[in-house]
Amino acid sequence: MRMETRRDVFQAIADPTRRAIIMLLAAGSMTPNALAEHFNSSRQAVSKHLQVLTECEVLTQEQKGREIHYHLNSTKMKEIEHWLEQFKQLLSKRFDQLDDVLTKLKTNKK
């Protein structure tokens, strides 16, 4: 029973196709059709992923006539970076504590 649809960067990068789309858009903005050509999946399938990515605010749309150009909002990706940073800090803290324990054992042995 999920309360609400979770739409965050972490969900954005959960799907391999979406990760590929992000990578392609990191190289430059593209239209759905141009993107779809890079995949086996249909235009609609890619379009759905683009929708998800837009909801996650990883992408922004720019209408140009009948074409829509999708741009990457690279700042959103920093959330992942930030989370990883916190994770690494927790890890290093743990190893610091382990160091403490080892140091104490040493001094006790003296």
Q: Which residues make up the interface to DNA (CB under 7 A)?
A: 1-2, 4-6, 11, 14-15, 17, 31-34, 41-45, 47-52, 61, 65-68
Residue 83 site contact among a copy of itself, DNA, none (CB < 5 to 8 Å, cut-off depends on kind): a copy of itself
Place of tokens 């006790």: 108
Spatial distance between the Cα atoms of 23 and 81, rounded to a whole number of angstroms: 16
Find the part of the chain contacting a copy of itself (CB under 8 A) among 32-40, 49-57, 58-66, 84-92: 84-92
Yes or no: say if 18 and 48 are a contact pair by the CB < 8 Å rule: no
- For the segment 37-56, give every residue that binds a copy of itself (CB under 8 A): none
Spatial distance between the Cα atoms of 71 and 90, rounded to a whole number of angstroms: 34
